[in-house]
A and B are shown apart, each in its own frame.
Chain A
């Protein structure tokens, strides 16, 4: 009986490992496919198929993409919005969280509620749109990162972290004559670097991946973020490419096609994430854990 069970377990472990290998393949293969397709010669790739290796080899699609004005401007726009939104959002959240973590500040309870309330209820898309219109934020770069940078969730995460800093640390600094300002900047901020890095990374990924803000609030497509440009290329290939001045006269003779260009664009916008991902992954996991601890 015991023997039989252990064999059952062995089989389970074997199947489990196989299932996980299969899962890895399922997760990775789409990107492999995209890379291989983007490197292929269009007339060889046109029949689709499996793409374990590129069919023929050409970098022409990437050259076209990297020469393309709206992809380059989209890339820059996204980079600026990412850096701007992530740093502004982190600083604002850290400042707000510090005040809200101070029990002796009169009005703290009320202020906490004021912030907290926005987690359940919001005006919705249309009032936001009209507000941006009123403030002349529509069609500006500001709308890409300014309205969305402060998240109450992030404030709560940082606040929880501040709570874990022993009071004695601040007290002793104060006894030594440090002002509230220098306590914040010289003790709290340096101590909370890890949590701030995590928040900044969360925000950065959010901004890098954001396409909706551009699509909703920016009409001038030259101001769109990279993901919005990519969306247009994916969903509206022919028109988008014509607008961007890419004309493919003969798919069979040319070294690029709409499809290889689409694939190359997907890769160009994925690569930044893939490059930083291995390094930041553990911060994200940690961040999620901090976030799930009750505040």
Chain B
């Protein structure tokens, strides 16, 4: 399509190259008016719902006053950020966010790789498909529903898990109300909900491994475990690296929905993350400027991290998200 258009175009304008350059652009724009019309609604949506809030972040540098609005509120420079770091609360919240995220990464990152390797060894295809279908399911069920199930199962009085503990001779325990177990619950339920979905990309990578490699190894007398170690894992290593690096880019997302639904006053000091803090400060307590400052602090670092990790992913020769 582009070829035809330009040839017609140059045919007309060849004679006066200078005056035409502008005319050509204009004609190009006019000819593509339908494309602009098509992108317009999306663009307006983007400007209103993405760029205006980005502009609104200036209240992080202001003393926001509801009656004065974003524009009229007085500038206060970095005061909000200073306040943020002078309270003990925000550094603690930062620390919690990073710790919970890293714990989730430490245990949650290898989980789908292992599951994918195991699924890949299933010989009965129908069994494999069924297992996949079932382990994907939790990804589609909301955190609210899982929070309900988790609360029911971990209930210290009659929860299923505590019933088992009682049968085994232990004493029931309040897992969600105890600082020593709350984070474990977060990590385990996060893996539970995401493990199946996480296998998809690995399974695709595994399907792409050249089967001749396995055949050759079989002839050489390699057993299943040697094949796994010397063929399968090296072959999917690039995918593993890429996903790991990209995962690091999202390290400030410790799981807002999950924690929001499960945390309580008893575990607040170890469970409060940036997102929950922003919600409570910025919206519940209406400390808009402080909340915006906390939120902005997070999004700036997150943006830098995403860009950096993508650079790294591209550098090691793998594909980033772009």
A residues near B (Cβ < 8 Å) are 2, 5-6, 8-9, 12-13, 16-17, 19-20, 23-24, 26-28, 30-31, 33-34, 37, 46-50, 92-93, 95-96, 98-100, 102-107, 111, 114-116, 118, 120-131, 134, 146-150, 155, 167, 170-171, 174-175, 179-181, 184, 205, 208-212, 216, 227-228, 230-231, 234-235, 259, 262-263, 266, 269-270, 273, 277-278, 281, 284-285, 288-289, 292, 294-295
Q: Which residues of B contact A (CB under 8 A)?
A: 1-6, 25, 28-29, 32, 34-36, 38-39, 41-43, 45-46, 49-57, 59, 64, 69-70, 115, 118-119, 121-123, 127, 130-131, 133-138, 140-145, 147-149, 151-153, 155, 157-160, 162-163, 192, 196-197, 200-201, 204, 221, 223-225, 256-257, 260-261, 275, 278-279, 282-283, 288, 291-292, 295-296, 298-300, 302-303, 306-307, 319, 321-322
Question: With A48-B160, A49-B163, A50-B160 given, is the CB distance from A16 to B121 under 8 Å?
Answer: yes
Q: Is the interface of B mostly helix, strand, loop or mixed?
A: helix
In the complex the two chains form, is B70's CB within 8 Å of A184's CB? no
Cβ-defined contact, B34 with A27, below 8 A: no
Main secondary structure of the interface of A (DSSP, over half): helix
Q: Is the CB of B1 within 8 A of A127?
A: no
Kindly report which residue of chain B lies nearest to residue A285, judged by CB atoms.
Answer: B200
What 4 pairs between A and B have smallest CB-CB spacing? A123-B53, A124-B295, A127-B56, A48-B158
How far apart are B126's CB and chain A's nearest CB, in angstroms?
A: 12
List, in ascending order, chain B residues with CB within 8 A of A262's CB.
148, 152
When the two chains form the complex, which single residue of A24, A50, A288 contacts B163, counting CB atoms closer than 8 Å?
Answer: A50
A219 to B261, CA, bound (A): 18
Cβ–Cβ < 8 Å partners of A211 in chain B: 142-144, 257
- Give bound CA distance, A122 to B69, whole Å: 20
Which residue in chain A gives the minimum CB-CB distance to B27?
A: A106
Shortest Cβ distance from A111 into B: residue: B39
Query: Which listed residue, A99, A125, A266, A288, touches B39 by the CB 8 Å rule?
Result: A99
Chain B neighbourhood of A128, CB < 8 A: 49, 53, 56
Known pairs A269-B145, A288-B197. 14 more at Cβ < 8 A?
A: A9-B223, A37-B152, A104-B6, A121-B299, A125-B291, A127-B55, A129-B288, A130-B59, A131-B49, A131-B52, A230-B145, A234-B144, A292-B204, A295-B322
A-B contacts counted at CB < 8 A amount to: 276
Q: Which residues of B contact A235 (CB under 8 A)?
A: 147, 151, 261
Q: Are B278 and A47 in contact (CB under 8 A)?
A: no
**Whole-angstrom distance between the Cβ of A67 and the nearest chain B Cβ:** 20
Show 5 residue pairs from A and B whose CB-CB distance is below 8 angstroms, ordered by the A residue. A20-B131, A114-B46, A122-B50, A211-B142, A227-B145
User: Min CB distance, A258 to chain B, in Å?
Assistant: 11
> Which residues of B are found within 8 Å of A34, using beta-carbon distances?
149, 152
Q: Are B43 and A131 in contact (CB under 8 A)?
A: no
**Residue among B123, B162, B299 with max Cβ neighbours from chain A (10 Å):** B299
Question: Given A50-B160, A122-B54, A180-B35, are A284 and B136 also a contact pair (CB < 8 Å)?
Answer: yes
